[in-house]
Each structure stands twice: as structure tokens, then as C-alpha cells.
A and B are shown apart, each in its own frame.
Chain A
């Protein structure tokens, strides 16, 4: 069984919600869509206060190549466009829509019939993906059309569909593969066509045997697509690790997957691409896992973008009384929410409630140079060294020590027996080094 060769950890999986089928969450009263919704430039509103909108209608336009369109996830009236806190707690401009009924644009096919017959050219597919505001649904929200636009002189050879879901607790991709497997593979076919490649590999870790069986069976009907079973190891869902595990190719430091002829998309993204192309439906909803060790009920909800997170928690039985931390995303790379009434975004893969007993960090002790951070770092970095350089603000030395290669998987901090905040200092270093690199090129 394949996996990436160096580093990695295996935190307890706690995938409690893997048996809960996807449920449709009732519509909220108001949705809130931030303009800076994705990685890259914020979108620009094309609606104004008081406008009536239908679900699926464009409400904010992409403002550059690395940017994405936003569509109304519900029908109703634009209530206001003003700053509101996002998951970081900072206020950023957002469009508020008061929900009235559930009226969709007529062009959108809302049936569950599986359609697999659209004949489109590569350029048309990419164009449609751009129009429909598709971004990476694994959590990074990188606009998908950017990854599909192959730079001159480079050639894509393999498409990898990321069904790894290596974060503990999260099960949204797992459920999607079980319930929308065929749609995902059609989406993968469309992506293959867009990239003009003839092979695609769906990477799934072997803790999801039902999804592996289901997709392997379906693959018989999809020539060129196969399932690769991977040994469970975090962070296998990281692009570079997944490429290494499946193809053996190593993306060079500072380069992109396309430099080794690979493009990676999440299973959720493949599903969104299917809906965008074959159902004419923009990205306005996604599956979100709501879970936690002390939650009585865990669930996977199909949620409209912009729904306040507390409505998901209420639907799953409310915040347990011992909650100490609410995480948007997985517990390894997700973000602790300062407030729970912030909205679901295109990148929200899960909401994880952590009990008080697991919410506080351990006391940080002296480094005992045990070298565990070195050995778990999937990028071959030296977290202990980066931390001490960070404490001393030696940014130049951090750059030499390849701090920019860090993808912030958190394996180092997770594994440190002294409970040292290694990743905090590495992040600090990345921010500072990034600033230095930018000022250099000016």
C-alpha cells in the first residue's frame, strides 16, 4: 500500500460522523457572503441593497485571474453590504441576503438525475468553471480555474482526485464519495478533458474501505480513472505528499504540482465541477461535517454558503456544555473560531467541537532535542531550529533553512513531547520572510 515516504503522524481518527448520511440543512433566515471568500483578490459586488436575487444568481464578480465569482446561495433580498466578522474574527465586507422562499434561476437543473453527456471543449469547461465560482473545497479555497490553466511550456499528465481526508474528525468527503461517487467521477472526467490528460487517480486512505469499494466498482465504467488505496498517514492530503505517494514524483521546493505534470483537485471540487457543467449550478452549497467528541449527534449537512455556523451546531443538538473550542475545518489545520455566528464559506469542510479538557495547549517546556519534530516533518525541515531562529527573529537564517517550504500541517507541534509551539514560530517566520522576499522583488 502506498504512502508518502518521509515524516507524518497518525493522530486518533475520531471519524464519528462517517456513518451519518448527508442531510439537507433547512434554510437560514439570513445568509452572509464575504467578498474575500477565496484565496486571491476579493470579488466585487454586482448587486445593491434592496435588490431581489434568485438562488444561483451572480452577486459578486471576480476581480482578477486569482479570484472567483460569488453567487446568491438563496433567494431573497439583499439586506445590506457591510463589514462583518469572518472566521478570523476580523470584519470584512460581506453581502447579507434575507431569505425569501427558495427560488432558483431557471437555467439550473436541480434534479438528482445523473447527467453524463455534455460535449464541451477544454476551454469551454475551464470557462464554465470560472463562471461558476468553483474554488478548491479541501479548505484552501484556491480558485480552481487557475489550477486548470496550464502555463506555457508545461504539460499536465496526471489528474489526482484527492479523497484522502486525512484530518481527524472530518467525514464530508467520505460521505460525498459514498453518496455522489458517480458524479465525482463524471466531474473527474470533465477535469481530465479540461486538462487534456488521459489518466486520473483517486487517492483514498484505507480507513474508508466502503468508499474505496464503491469508487473502484464505478471506475470500471470510467476508462482512465483508477482508485489508489493509500496507507493512513497525516498529512497525506497535502498536495505534494499526495503526489509523492501516488506517482513517486517530488514537487521541487518553491514549485507547483504542474511542474511535475500533476494537477490535484479535491473530491468535493470534482463534484462541484460536475454540477457546474452538467447541471449548470454555481458553487452555492457544500457538505459540512458537524462533530465533536462530546456531541450526542454528529452529522454531515448539505449547507448553503453563508449559513451561520451556529445554525449547523443547533441542528446537531447544540453546543455541548463542556465545549472549550470550536474549530472550522479539521483539528490539525483548522481555525479556532472566536465566535460561532460567522458564516459557512466555500472552504468550510467541518465544524469540530472540542471539549474544554482538550482545548488548552500544553505548557511549553525546554526543547530536549529529541528530534521527533525533524522526523515527522513531511517536508524534511528542522522545526526545532526554525523555532529557535524565529524566537531570535533571524529571518534570513529561517529563509536559508527553507521555512517557506512549510505547509503548516502541524505535525511538529502535535508530536513535540515538550509541548512547544513550533508551528507558531514557523508561521511568524513565514510571514516575515514572505515580506522580505516581496520587498526584494520591488
Chain B
């Protein structure tokens, strides 16, 4: 007796779950909607132009490199290039010229991602590599921040101002007292909803946290990295603030200003470039928090989240080598 159908033979398991790379990436895109909406409100036209250009050019470079250089199957619709595009846009000012965005996308996708073998093989966060490349190459354009609301209908001709962190850095360098500088900075409630100067997607803590909660709820990320980063920043700046509140800004300021929340929720949690174990993730996050504070307070840049994440990305293989999950039956437990 023989079967009329040809049977498939393969090893178990014969079932597969419903998760896919595509679903994960699309969830990240959904999670970025609130932050994008806020930046549309505050930066208007510029936010729309910069984000669209970044997404389109990231996807275009991914397609072209796959098609003509790697001659590999297209990975365009896994959504990862689009995520990189949005994240790159989130990390630049909303008045960045189109050609610079395209260069940033090429570095992000071409250099930081595809040259290592595509999604999953890159040691560094592609969007951040793109961003840091732009920051070092075009420091002026990368640090001219359109003012929120005022420049809603403008793109390249937006009126610019300094970010809260830059105000503080410059002022302290010039010997101004902290209490006076704080008057130039928007109130914490305004900073929380995002009414301040800064990169396109980093301004609204509220919107970013909503996105982060969605990602945790959907099990795309776990709480470990964001909490560890924010707690370290809070602790470190808190200690300094308690030592000398006249010289160092309070922890709440440091948490609301700059890109720390964007970094903690969307950049550092990039699964490709972060450690595999929860304990490893806590160490990774603590490292990022610490380096960020060191750069902000003692370094020459006003902001250091991108550098901190990239530096800690380099430590991921080391962390994964030494921090192992607890094996079942590792120690004898009775009762």
C-alpha cells in the first residue's frame, strides 16, 4: 500500500508560531506614530518632509543594494528599512536639507547595515550610525534646532533656537548661574509634552512613553533596557544635583531634555544590537545611562545618547559571552 500524496518529511516541531520579523517591525512603526504626530504638531511641514525623505531613501538604498550589489532576495517589506528611516528622521533636526538626509540614509543602510550582511548582522544601530555620521560631517546643520510651533509652516527657513541641553552647556561654559539659565528653559510640563527645541522625534516624553508601553504590551521589547537607562541617568544626575544644586541640573531635567527617552525606548532596545539576557540588558542600559551623563555633564557635546548607545553596542558581544541565562538544574534545589 502506498500513499497517493507525496508526504513532506521534516524534523519536529511541525508547528510554527505566528510571530514574524515583519510583524515585529510593523509594531515598532505603529509605536512611533504618537511621537511622529507630536512632531507634526510642533514642527509641522519640516517633520513631514524629513521623515518622508528618510523613509523613502532608506528603503530605496536597501532595495538597490539587495538588487544590484548583493544580488539577494529583497528584504524591503520586512519593514526594517522603514524603521531605520523613521528612527533616523527622529534623530535629526526638522530643517535638515534633503541631500543630507539622503547621505545619512546611505550611511545608515549601506554602511551600518547592508555591509555587515543585512538585518540581524549589524553590530551597531544603523540609524544612529547615520545620525552620528551626519553630526560629525555637518555639525552646524545638525545642531540648528527649529523652534517648536513657531516654525510649523517652514522647512529649510525655519527659525531656530537652542535645545534646553545646549542652553545649559553654553551657559555653564560662560559662567552663568544655573538658576538664571533655567529661566530660559521651557517648564517641565511643556518639556514633557514636547514643546521645546530638539531633534524631530525626541521632544515629547509623553508620546514616546505611550509608544514604549505599546511595545512592552506587544512584547516587542521588555522593560529592562529603558528602565535601566532612565534609572541610571536619574541616579547619577540626582547624586550630582544633591551635591551641588547650584551647578548641576536636577534629574527630572536630564530625563526630559534631549534624546534620552527616545534613545532608551526606541534606539537602545533595537534587538539586533542589544544583549540577549535580561541581566545583560540591565548592564547594557546602565552603561548607556552612565556614558550619556558623562558626556552631557563633563564632555564637550551637550548631548551624548547616540554616542553612549553606539559605545555600548560594541560591548554587546562581550556581555552576551559572560552573562548567561540561568540554566535549568544549574543548582540543586529541593523542597
Contact = CB atoms under 8 A, between A and B. Distances in A.
Interface of A: 6, 9, 11, 89, 168, 240, 244, 248-255, 260, 308, 310, 319, 321, 323-327, 331-341, 352, 354, 358-362, 365-372, 374, 377-382, 384-385, 402, 405, 408, 410-411, 413-419, 421, 423-424, 427
Interface in B1-48: 1-5, 7-17, 19-21, 23-24
B14 A417 contact: no
**Ranked 3 nearest A-B pairs via Cβ:** A410-B13, A366-B120, A417-B19
Contacts of A331: 12-15
A249 B328 CA distance: 11
Contact of A380 (B13, B121, B272, B328): B328
24 contacts: A249-B334, A253-B327, A253-B330, A260-B332, A308-B1, A310-B3, A321-B5, A324-B5, A331-B12, A331-B13, A334-B14, A336-B11, A338-B7, A341-B2, A358-B14, A366-B117, A369-B120, A369-B273, A377-B325, A380-B326, A380-B327, A415-B17, A415-B19, A423-B13
Contact of B1 (A323, A341, A427): A341
Interface size class of chain B, counting residues whose CB lies under 8 Å from the partner chain? 35 or more
Interface of B is mostly: loop
A371 B271 contact: yes
B324 interface: yes
A377 to B, nearest CB: 8
Interface of B: 1-5, 7-17, 19-21, 23-24, 75, 78, 117-121, 271-274, 276-277, 320, 324-335
A374 B276 contact: yes
Contacts of B15: 11, 168, 331-332, 358, 414
B16 A413 contact: yes
A325 B1 contact: no
B5 A323 contact: yes
A253 B328 contact: yes
Interface of A is mostly: loop
A254 B326 CA distance: 15
Given A340-B3, A366-B121, A368-B271, A332 B13 contact: yes
Given A326-B7, A360-B8, A414 B17 contact: yes
Contacts, number: 181
A335 B333 CA distance: 34
B120 A367 contact: yes
Contacts of A421: 11
B271 A405 contact: no
A250 B328 contact: yes
A27 B287 CA distance: 70
A408 B13 CA distance: 9
B14 A332 contact: yes
Nearest to A322: B5
B14 A319 contact: no
B247 to A, nearest CB: 41
A324 B328 contact: no
A282 to B, nearest CB: 28
Nearest to A311: B1
B328 A6 contact: yes
A378 B328 CA distance: 7
A356 B105 CA distance: 42
Contacts of B324: 382
Contacts of A410: 12-13
B328 to A, nearest CB: 4
Given A331-B13, A417-B19, A423-B13, A339 B329 contact: no
Contacts of B7: 323-326, 336-340
Contacts of B330: 252-253, 380
A105 B277 CA distance: 60
